[in-house]
Amino acid sequence: MEINLTIEVWKKGKWYIASCPELDFVSQGVTVEEAKNNLREVVEIQFEEMRQMGTFEDYLTECGYVKEENATYSQPEMIGFEKQSLQVA
């Protein structure tokens, strides 16, 4: 099964934090790629454990995922975000 997900990467001190907001999973690494790879590994491990427990499909539904043909995607789908500065005082 192929699943579409969003990976956000943040820098916090010397660490890079990778998160998947749709699934509420987070990981970290000393490089951007390491953080993203660690997050993918977390997703794979968690999904395997959920399959073994029989909760995988329920979890995806709870997270707002819809299965269509060979792909599973989140509704609503994040299409982008941007940083902006705002004068508040």
Beta-sheet pairing, 15-20 with 65-68: unpaired
Burial of 37 (0-12, 13-18, 19+ CB in 10 A): middle
2-74: CATH topology? Double Stranded RNA Binding Domain (3.30.160)
Q: What is the pLDDT along the chain (89 residues), one digit of tens a residue?
A: 788 888 999 999 999 999 999 999 999 999 999 999 999 999 999 999 999 999 999 999 999 898 888 778 788 777 778 888 999 98
Beta-sheet pairing, 71-74 with 2-3: parallel
What is the SS3 assignment for 37? helix
